[in-house]
Structure formats: C-alpha cells, structure tokens
Structure 1
Amino acid sequence: MEGKLAQFATLNQKDKVAAYQALFNELISREDQTNLPADIHTLVDNVVNQESVGLVISRLILSELVKALSEGKVKNTELKKAIVQDTLDIIQPRVVSYEEQINTLRFQLANILEEAEEWSEAARVLMGISLDSGQRALPDQEKLQVYIRIVRLLLEDEDSVQAERFYNRAALLAHTTTDKETLLSFKLCQARISDYSRKFLEAASRYHELSWVPEIDEDERSHMLSAAMTCAVLAPAGPNRSRVLASLCRDERTQELPSFKIMEKMFRDRILRSNEIKEFEGTLKPHQLARIEISNNDRLAASVVADDDEVHDPTVSTRKGPSTVLDRAVMEHNLLASSKVYNNITFRGLGALLDVTPGAAENMARKMIEQGRLKGTIDQVEKLISFEVMGEEDDAQGKAGGLGDVEQVEEDTGAPFTKRWDMQIRITAANVESIVQHLTEKGLVSFGTIQA
C-alpha cells in the first residue's frame, strides 16, 4: 500500500487523479474488508497531509469515500463506524478545506450511533456540524431539522438542560418552515421540554393537542395521550389543572389507558391512597420521579409545631415536606380534596392526612392560598385552617338540602359542554343531599361526629 502511494508521488497531476481513484475503487470493492479501515486510513492520511497530492485530488477521494459509505458499500456497521471516525480525526484539523465532506460524515456517524441507541454521542456529533459557515451555510429549514434532532437525542438520555439550549435555537427558526412533519416534530419537542422542565400543565395541553393530529401514527397518538394524562396528574393542584383534567376526562380515548383511574379520582377531588400512588409511580419516567429539595424557609416553617406534646407524640409525622415531584403533586391534591370534605381542619389533622408535620401542612396550605389555588384562611392562634365553601366553584353547595333553585350569575366561558357537565354535577349533588336529608328525618340513617 505504502509502496503504491510512493510511486504516485512521481506521477504528473493528471495521472495522479486516475491512479488515486483506481486505488480507492480497488480497496472499496474487495470481498474481504477486514483490513479496509487500516488501508483507508493510510490513503486518507496520504491525500490530506501530503502537499504534493493537492487539494483537488484529496477532495475527490474524500467525496468518493463519502459516496461509497452512503451507498452501503461497507456492509459491516462496526467497520463503517471505525472508518468514519478515523477519517474525521484525520481531516478535522483542516475543516476549512473539507467542510462539506466533514458535515456529511458527521451525519453518517450520527445515524450509526443513533441506531446503536448511543443518544448523547449522536447528539454531540451533530453539534460539531458547521451550520453557519460562510462557505456553505445550510438553509434555515435544514438547520431547524438538525436542532430538532439534537433535542430529541438529548432528551432520550434525560439531558434536558442541553436539550433546552438547542430547543431555544430551534424556536428562533420555527417560523421559517411550512413543512408539516418538521412542525409536528418541533411541537413534540415543545411538549417534551415542558415535561422535563416540570411545566406539567403546559406539557399536558401540548401532548393532548398532538394526540388529535391524524398524520401521527395511532400508537404514537396513544402514547402522547398517556403522557398528557401523566403530566396532568403531576401538575400543581388548582383551577388550571382542573380544566385540563376535565378536558382529558371528556376524551373517550382516555378510559382505555392505565392512568385513567387515578386521573378520574383527581378530577372528582377524591383523596388518593398510598396503594393507588404506588401503582401509578411505576409508570413514571426518571425525571418525573426527581427528588426536590426543601428551601431553608420552608424547612424552618415546617419545623414549627403546635405544642410540646407533639414533639414526643409518636403518631405525629416527622416529614417536613414532599420529597419528589409525584409526592408534591399528591399532597397538594389531597389538601385540595380535603377542602371539599371539611369546612375546617387543624394543622395536626391536616398533617396526619398528608403524612407531614403540622408545620409543613400549614406551610403547604399557606402557599396554595397565596397562589390562588386554594380558597381559605389560616388562624395560627387556633391552629386551624378554614376552607371557603361558598365560592364561585362551590356554589352548588348553596342548593344542598332541598333549598330549591338559586338564581346564579355565571361567567360566559364560551364552553357549552363544560357548562353542561358542571350543571349535571350540581343537580346530582343536590339530589343526593336531598335524599340523605329525607332519610335522616325518617330516622333511617344517622351520622357520628367526625373530628379532623
């Protein structure tokens, strides 16, 4: 091999082109390709680093190599990967002269790594592509596709920080394309970035929107619908989450999915039990089970107890707050659900319900009230949380006990199906309350005292 290359040095420029091309064709067409990576290394090193060869010949040989690799003339994937990586190592220092060949080789190497599920490595290879070079700047649509692919690969390895950086670059170019497939890929990136950034309400809405797109495969749509349900369950409890849950519960497709049961209980403001949470936890991805740190202010507030007896009471929980994203979502939901059951509750009673210290229970309720996600007041002297049960969202209780119809003024939300759903709930609740009151008057049922 080296002897042939030494002979080529004595040839004139025209003969060199034919000689190098013939040698390359001979190497690439061999039946036994075991020694091909070593021979290609010697050839590429010669044409790139020998000044006597010239730029025209080196570019020609590299272009022929790129073409042969793309056409599958190297059958073995490992050999192909070795050739591409070795060639890139040789010509990378002279990127200005071989930019087009380097970019094409990087795309090929990224394809090989992606097929091997080496997601982060494939993303790093794509990051090295020159997209804005003065010699050969890619069109905006191709840049957008590269950025979207990098985001997708990084998210496969849960690297949301790097992924968000490239997503922001893609967002600047999203308006430059009308290609439906590219736009759908970008919207999916939006949903996944929101998911990984713990913006679960936003992620749930985007996943649900994508689950209706007919161009997406049915299995993928089902997967997106399941992701929307999961994000809705993990979202912060409050009116905004209730609207997303209502939208998902009205979707008939959700009833066939595993997460429907827990989502329905959340929508109906029922308290969740530990066995239900354990079952749902098994369906979550690692980033949805991420541990969360309690701030110093929250830790201080959670450490406050009602009296000295509680310090030594073994029945009082010692937890100072939620430890995971799921833990926080469940605690906030159970706190909101308890506001539908009780008119008021002590710090200690709420702490027992949420399995946290009384101080942590008070702190969580205070935050939700401040953020407008819970209606109520806190009496720190009496150590009591009182819930507002006659607010706009609870005015159905004003008709309980057979009080008859009450004239109500409602805001026109422009959602007739939501109004119809709410009205059916109100009528059902009023009828149940009327039946219970009638049975109580007849002495057929009795209720014990419930202490919170």
Structure 2
Amino acid sequence: MESKLAQYSALPQKDKGLAFISLIPEVLAQTDPARDIHTLVDTLINHDNVGLVVGRQVLSELVKVLGEGAIQDHDLRKRVVEETLATVLPRIVSYEEQVNGLKFQLADLLESEEEWSEAARVLMSTSMESGQRSVSDSDKLRVYIRIVRLLLEDEESVQAETYYNRAALLVHSTTDREVILQFKLCQARISDYNRKFLEAAGRYHELSYIGEIDEEERRHMLTAAVTCAVLAPAGPNRSRVLASLYRDERSADLSTYNILSKMFLDHILRPTEIKEFEQILKPHQLAKVAISSNDRLASAGNNDSYNDDNEPATSTRTGPSTVLDRAVMEHNLLASSKIYNNITFRGLGNLLDLTPGAAETMARKMIEQGRLRGTIDQVDKIIWFESDREEDDAQGRAGGLGEVEEAEDTGAPFTKRWDAQIRLTAANAESIVQHLIERGLVQITAPVV
C-alpha cells in the first residue's frame, strides 16, 4: 500500500484524484481494511505533495462509499469512521464538509446502539455554519430536531430545550409534513419533561388523531396524553382535558382507562390503583417535589394547634413527595368537595394521608388558585365547600376571588345534569300553562271527587 501511495503521489496533479479513488474499492475489499484506510487518509491529509483539492475529492468519495454501506460489519465500520475522524479533525478547517459527513455517519451508528446522548453530542459538534457550503434552514431544523429527540431518550431535558428553542426559530422554513410532525412531537415531549402536563396532554391528544402517523404510535401518544392529564393539577382546566380524553372512544382500550374514568367522574382514588398506575410512569414523571419553606412553616404551625385534641393525627406527612403524589392528593381533595358539604382539617388529612395542617395548606392553595370552590374556617378547623355546584362544577369560582374562565361542561355527575334538565323542563311547561291561562286560552276545571 505504501509503495502505491508513493507512486500515485508523484503523478501529475490532474491524475492524482482518479488514481487515489481507484484504491478505495481495493482497500475496502480486504477482510480488515482499517489499517490501509488509515494510511490512505493520512497520506491525503498530511502530505503536502497530494494537494488540498485532491485530498477533498478523494476523502469525499471515501465518505460517500462508507455511507452507502461498503463495510457491512457494524463494529468495523464504526472503528473506521472513528479513526478517519481522528485523522482529519486536526485539519477540520480545510475538510469541514467531509468531517460533517463522517460525524453524521457516526451518529447513525451510535443511535443504532441506543447510545442516545453520545449520538446527540456528535451531532452537536457538527458545523451548521459552513464556509465551504451553504447549510439551508430546513437542514439545520432536521438536525436540531434529531438532537432534541436523542437527548430526550436519555431524559436530558434541559439541554434538549436549548436545541428545541433553536428549532422553533426555523420551523417556518419547511413545508415538509414529516419534519413538522416531528417538531410537534418534540413540543409535546418538552412540555411533558417540564411538567407542563396540561399542555403536553393537549398536544399528545392532537397528534394521536393524525392519520400519517403509524397506528401503534398514535395509540402510544393517546396513552401519553392520558398519563399527562392524570398528572396535571386538579381544577377546571384539567376537567376539560379529561372530558375530551374520556369521550374519545379509543381510550376504553387503554390500560390507563380505569384511572382516567375515575378522575373524570370525580371518584376518590385508592392506593392500589395509584400503585398500578405508577408502574407505567417515566422517571421524570416520578420526580421529587420540594415543599416551600412557607408551606412547611404553615403546616407546622397549624399542626401545633392540634396538640390539645384527644385524638392524634394518623399521618406525619407534611406534603406530597412526588409529582404523582401531588396530582392524586389534589384530585382526591377536589373529589371530596363533590361528596361533602364540609370536612374538618383532621378528616381531610386522614383522607389525603397528610397532617391536618398540611391538608389545610393544600386546600388553601387550591382555593387561592381558583381550582377549588370553598372557604376555610380556621377557628372551628373546618373547610366548607360551596353547595350550589349543579351546573357550575368546572367553572372554578373560588371563595370570593372572582370568576375563572368558564370551562366546558364535563358531564359529571350525569344524574345531577338530568335532574336539572327535568326541573327546567317542568318550569318551562308551568310557565307556558300560566301564560295560556292568563290569556283565557285554557280553563282549569276542578277535579271530580
């Protein structure tokens, strides 16, 4: 090989390119071509008598052939690409385009090995502002979306959001339907990882209707939508999302349908149901939540007022420990408001597995945020829930804090809606009859005894 390289290097400049290119098939036909490829690349890059133009021409051909699968063995191809990159990188200014091509191939190989973060970092190191060629906005967008997808596979959401923001600036530059759908999926996943569960649920549900996506993927997105809706903060906004998912006939076939229906119908969730649901959650959906110092002090202060009671508190927990914990406690609190007219701090604490002070703190925050309708009597240690809830369950007017945006009627509970419709129909009929009587069109006769 060395003698051929020396011979070709001495050829006239116009003949060198074709001569070196003719060596590539010969080298790749060997059982282990790694050593000879390294020698060839080193000659092209580091020998001044070869020339930059010839070096780029031959190296581009080598990158092209490797990309077309000339080496079938995965490990061997990966080693060749890595060694070629190591040789060319010191001269990246002169061989920028070829280096980018090798990096894209290395990222493909790492992704096939499920080395998500490593593949993403290889793509991050590629040059998107090339002096040798113009990189279009649509090409940049594809790379940024791919980086986001790879980083999210390893739950690296902070860095993924950086590249998502870059992609968001370029998404207008493409009309490619596939790229746009990939971007929308990234949107949903970023919202999910940032614990914006209501936003994520809406986006997942929207994607689950798109026909271009594979049916199994759409089912997966519908499941993700239900999961995010369950984890979202309890209140009228979540009620709308739950109603939309519950009315989707496809939801009945999901493993999460039981918890979806219980949340939609405002049933209290039991520990066994929560444990079952917990098994399908991802690590970021089980993240620990910190209790603020103000809430901790408020809970501790309120608990001190129970020292004189004869009955000790059954729980020592001062707040939810995970995202799921918080979602379930808030839901059970909201569900209890549909069952009881009022409840003591201690009773609510027993229901939520919290200390009485922590239960009061959670109820107070939900009332302040317009997610629960009621008032708190701290003297008698009772929470009073608003009783007139027939047509107004999801509107979220809370304790004198004013109107919250009116929510869609979620349909729960159905019996109350039917009762209201019957009363309204009877009242309308009575009004019509009274109007006819006043105009003399109808006469009421006394019943025959």
Question: Same fold by TM (over 0.5)?
Answer: yes
Instruction: Please name the residue that 2:182 is paired with.
Output: 185
Q: Name whichever of 194-203 and 302-311 sits farther off.
A: 302-311
Q: CA deviation at 1:431?
A: 10
C-alpha spacing 1:68/1:363, structure 2 compared with 1 (3 Å): same
2:416 to 400, 407, 426: 426
Q: CA deviation at 1:312?
A: 9.6
Q: CA deviation at 1:24?
A: 2.7
Given that 2:390 and 2:420 are in contact with CA atoms closer than 8 Å, whether structure 1 keeps it comes out as no
CA deviation string 1:397-419 (max 9, x = no partner): xxxxxxxxxxxxxx99897xx58
CA deviation string 1:313-359 (max 9, x = no partner): 66431111101110000000011111111111111111111111111
Partners of 2:3 and 2:240 in 1: how far apart? 77
Q: CA deviation at 1:309?
A: 3.0
Which residue identity is paired with 2:342?
N
> Aligned with 2:375: secondary structure?
strand
Which residue identity is paired with 2:28?
I
Partners of 1:157 and 1:395 in 2: how far apart? 40
Correspondence list, 1:36-47, <5 A? 36-47=33-44
CA deviation string 1:379-428 (max 9, x = no partner): 222222111122575479xxxxxxxxxxxxxx99897xx58x46954244
Partners of 1:101 and 1:13 in 2: how far apart? 21
Q: CA deviation at 1:5?
A: 3.2
Instruction: Please name the residue that 1:253 is paired with.
Output: 250
Correspondence list, 1:109-120, <5 A? 109-120=106-117
Given that 2:345 and 2:381 are in contact with CA atoms closer than 8 Å, whether structure 1 keeps it comes out as yes
Given that 1:306 and 1:383 are in contact with CA atoms closer than 8 Å, whether structure 2 keeps it comes out as no
Partners of 1:18 and 1:145 in 2: how far apart? 34
2:167 to 170, 183, 188: 170
Which residue identity is paired with 1:287?
H
Q: Does 1:342 align with 2:340?
A: yes
Which residue identity is paired with 1:336?
L
Q: Does 1:352 align with 2:350?
A: yes
Instruction: Please name the residue that 2:21 is paired with.
Output: 21
CA deviation string 1:24-77 (max 9, x = no partner): 3321223x2x2x112211211121011121102211221121111122111111
TM-score (norm 1): 0.85
Partners of 1:102 and 1:218 in 2: how far apart? 38
Instruction: Please name the residue that 2:307 is paired with.
Output: 309
Q: Name whichever of 287-296 and 424-433 sits farther off.
A: 424-433
Instruction: Please name the residue that 2:445 is paired with.
Output: none
Q: Does 1:89 align with 2:55?
A: no
Instruction: Please name the residue that 2:362 is paired with.
Output: 364
Partners of 2:49 and 2:83 in 1: how far apart? 22
> Aligned with 1:378: secondary structure?
strand
Q: CA deviation at 1:128?
A: 1.3
Given that 1:174 and 1:183 are in contact with CA atoms closer than 8 Å, whether structure 2 keeps it comes out as yes
C-alpha spacing 1:184/1:96, structure 2 compared with 1 (3 Å): same
Given that 2:240 and 2:407 are in contact with CA atoms closer than 8 Å, whether structure 1 keeps it comes out as no
Instruction: Please name the residue that 1:329 is paired with.
Output: 327
Given that 1:310 and 1:316 are in contact with CA atoms closer than 8 Å, whether structure 2 keeps it comes out as no
CA deviation string 1:120-178 (max 9, x = no partner): 11111111121122432311111111111111111111111111111111111111211
Partners of 2:305 and 2:127 in 1: how far apart? 66
> Aligned with 1:309: secondary structure?
coil
Partners of 1:218 and 1:385 in 2: how far apart? 47
> Aligned with 1:287: secondary structure?
helix
Which residue identity is paired with 1:368?
M
Which residue identity is paired with 1:232?
A
C-alpha spacing 1:308/1:220, structure 2 compared with 1 (3 Å): closer
Partners of 1:89 and 1:57 in 2: how far apart? 20
C-alpha spacing 1:187/1:308, structure 2 compared with 1 (3 Å): closer
C-alpha spacing 1:327/1:412, structure 2 compared with 1 (3 Å): closer
Partners of 2:310 and 2:407 in 1: how far apart? 55
Instruction: Please name the residue that 1:63 is paired with.
Output: 60
C-alpha spacing 1:285/1:311, structure 2 compared with 1 (3 Å): farther
Instruction: Please name the residue that 1:385 is paired with.
Output: 383
Instruction: Please name the residue that 1:444 is paired with.
Output: none
Correspondence list, 1:275-294, <5 A? 275-294=272-291
Between the two structures, name the one with larger relative contact order (CA 8 Å, sep ≥ 6): 2
Q: CA deviation at 1:189?
A: 0.7
C-alpha spacing 1:340/1:308, structure 2 compared with 1 (3 Å): closer
Partners of 1:106 and 1:67 in 2: how far apart? 13
Instruction: Please name the residue that 2:436 is paired with.
Output: none
2:132 to 126, 132, 135: 135
Instruction: Please name the residue that 1:440 is paired with.
Output: none
Which residue identity is paired with 1:296?
S
C-alpha spacing 1:67/1:310, structure 2 compared with 1 (3 Å): farther
Given that 2:237 and 2:407 are in contact with CA atoms closer than 8 Å, whether structure 1 keeps it comes out as no
Q: Does 1:207 align with 2:204?
A: yes
C-alpha spacing 1:312/1:78, structure 2 compared with 1 (3 Å): farther
Partners of 2:405 and 2:414 in 1: how far apart? 17
Q: CA deviation at 1:8?
A: 4.1
CA RMSD of aligned residues (A): 2.6
Which residue identity is paired with 1:118?
E
Instruction: Please name the residue that 1:268 is paired with.
Output: 265
> Aligned with 2:307: secondary structure?
helix
Instruction: Please name the residue that 2:435 is paired with.
Output: none
Q: Name whichever of 278-287 and 10-19 sits farther off.
A: 10-19
Partners of 2:311 and 2:282 in 1: how far apart? 37
Q: CA deviation at 1:432?
A: 12
Task: Note the residue ranges of structure 2 that are not aligned, 5 or more in a row.
Answer: 395-403, 424-449
Q: Name whichever of 263-272 and 38-47 sits farther off.
A: 38-47
Q: How many residues align?
A: 413
Task: Note the residue ranges of structure 1 that are not aligned, 5 or more in a row.
Answer: 397-410, 434-452
